Amino acid sequence: MDLDDASAEFHDFFERHHAELARLAHLLTGEAETADDLAADAFVALWHRWDRVRRADRPVAYARGVVTNMARARIRALTRERRRVHLFWTALPGSRAQHHPDVDAVMDVRRALARLPFRKRACVVLRHALDLSEKDTALALGTSVGTVKSQTSKAMAELQRLLGAQAAEELTGTRN
């Protein structure tokens, strides 16, 4: 395959999957303003490995995995930065750093999702927001179907605790 054919094939892949991957990034990070950047970075990485990606059994699953890993890295970096800032301010003499806990009554879905550990959040987002099968979710996360089932179940229980059963059912379109 020459460069023009590969470029056209990649462009078609981009057109078909950009919106979904940007949505995935948004739901995983909770940052609308960052979602397009993460999706764009993922497509750059995919282009650099396009020969390998296009030969994959499920190229879109590969792409979802790239976005998921980039979102995880961003969340970890932001968490480390928040800890450094917090340590800096609390280490200052006379510092009066205050913590304001979330109030369950005003917590929305994004905050509830943000409280879930990353893998559980990713399972819920991929399964319910993107409506992927358990198998496709497992491919995107590089894990087993059993892990997806377990993590999704635990995440839903946590969301029910945080949001209430009715809100969790409305979020996922399920009845428990």
**Is residue 98 pLDDT above 50, yes or no?**
no
> pLDDT exceeding 90 applies to what percent of the chain?
51
Strands (E), 29-134: none
pLDDT at 99 over 50: no
Q: What is the mean predicted confidence (pLDDT) over 54-75?
A: 93
Closest CA to 75 of 126, 121, 43: 121
Q: What is the mean pLDDT of residues 141-169?
A: 86
The domains of the chain are located at: 1-99, 101-176
Confidence of residue 23 (pLDDT cuts 50, 70, 90): very high
| 124 contacts 159 by C-beta, under 8 angstroms | yes
Q: Domain 1-99: which topology?
A: Rna Polymerase Sigma Factor; Chain: A (1.10.1740)
Q: Which candidate, 39, 45, 50, places its Cα nearest to that of 4?
A: 50
Residue 89: is its pLDDT beyond 90?
A: no
* Average pLDDT value for residue range 1-30: 91
CATH number for the domain running over 101-176: 1.10.10.10
